[in-house]
Amino acid sequence: VNGIDTLDTPPTYSQFIEHYLEPNLPVLIGPALTTNWRARQQWVCPVTGKPNFDNLREQLCSNEPIQVPVADCQCKDFTDQKRSTMDLKGFLDEWEEHSRADRPSRTYLKDFHFVKTFPDYGAYETPDIFCDDWMNEFWTRRTDMDDDYRFVYCGGDGTFTPFHADVYRSYSWSANICGVKKWTLFPPNQEQLFQDQLHNTVYDIENVDPIQFPDFHKAKRFTIYQEPGYTLFVPSGWWHQVHNIGDTISINHNWCNGSNLDLLVESMTSDLKEVEREIEHLKDMMDQDEWIETCQKLLLLNSGWDWS
């Protein structure tokens, strides 16, 4: 990989498959992909380019409180940030206060299932090149389950997502509504450089202990700045860290299809083997059916999916 392509004009689906999906390479696509979205037109102040907090409150905050997931970017919790929930209006009020005072934020609204919460709002349309999406099609067709991988992220200057690879080795696409995101992307097959002797992984690439992770500096990486309206395709297995510069809103889907299904299966198989290793000492206390059922329950809790 010599660099990351930037396209002013969205590719056709056949071009996208040939040049990015099958080779598993990232690409940054210009604002033409998102120009007509309601989110681009109504969530951003046309004069300042900052979030239109009044519109967001008026359109999204009803009389009934809406709880949204937030992360504290200054509080590490194992390999992630400390998570909690917050009233959406309260989050917007706090965010606007920090924005007006030009102060960095620590509270980041992330992994917010926007479409599930506002099914009739129509903030955006999934671009054609990302529509062959087996993960979200699965969830939207199930009436006995309630989940999806369609998210909105909102955060002030200084908020960030720690170093990670996306769930199940899925693809993701991320469209910036406003603000700038700094992405640092690492091609696959370098994972041994990210881990210490106990298999702990780097948390923050800007604060890496060279004693604990002596080989991290050897990892090849790419840094890009994603401006408003631009959409980034993140391929399967690419580790990355994302920093928000200014007040930032983005829309993101995790997704998969036939091009990376083998990697999803491999990821789930690996997760199941990890569960089995962790409770190996209990296996002799169970019959075969009980052992399988217990492993599947733990897989569901740990990874979000079991095999069924």
Domain ranges of the chain: 5-258, 266-303
Q: SS3 for 167?
A: helix
CATH number of 5-258: 2.60.120.650
> In 10 A of CB 87, how many CB atoms?
13
Is the pLDDT at 153 greater than 80? The verdict is yes
End-to-end, the C-alpha distance of the chain in Å comes to: 37
Average pLDDT of 131-155? 93
134/100 Cα distance (integer angstroms): 41
Provide the Cα torsion 11, 13, 14, 17; round to 10°. 90
Is the pLDDT at 156 greater than 80? The verdict is yes
Q: How far is CA 200 from the centre of its chain?
A: 21
Q: Among all chains, which residue has been given the structure tokens 């469209």?
A: 175
- Band (25; pLDDT cuts 50, 70, 90): very high
Contact 272, 295 (CB under 8 A): yes
Of 252, 36, 33, 32, the C-alpha closest to 128 is: 33
Segment holding 298, helix H or strand E: helix 288-303
187/213 Cα distance (integer angstroms): 18
Give the bridge partners for 252, in sequence order.
151, 174
Q: SS3 for 215?
A: coil
3/173 Cα distance (integer angstroms): 18
Of 87, 75, 100, 52, the C-alpha closest to 159 is: 75
**85-132 tens-digit pLDDT:** 999 999 999 999 999 999 999 999 999 999 999 999 999 999 999 999
Q: What's residue 33's pLDDT?
A: 96
| Burial class of residue 168 (count of CB atoms within 10 Å of its CB; 0-12, 13-18, 19+) | buried
Tell me what percent of the residues of the chain surpass a pLDDT of 90.
92
**35-63 tens-digit pLDDT:** 999 999 999 999 999 999 999 999 999 88
Separation in Å, CA 103 to CA 39, 268, 288: 25, 41, 57
Of 186, 180, 185, 184, the C-alpha closest to 158 is: 180
Q: What's residue 69's pLDDT?
A: 98
Is the pLDDT at 239 greater than 80? The verdict is yes
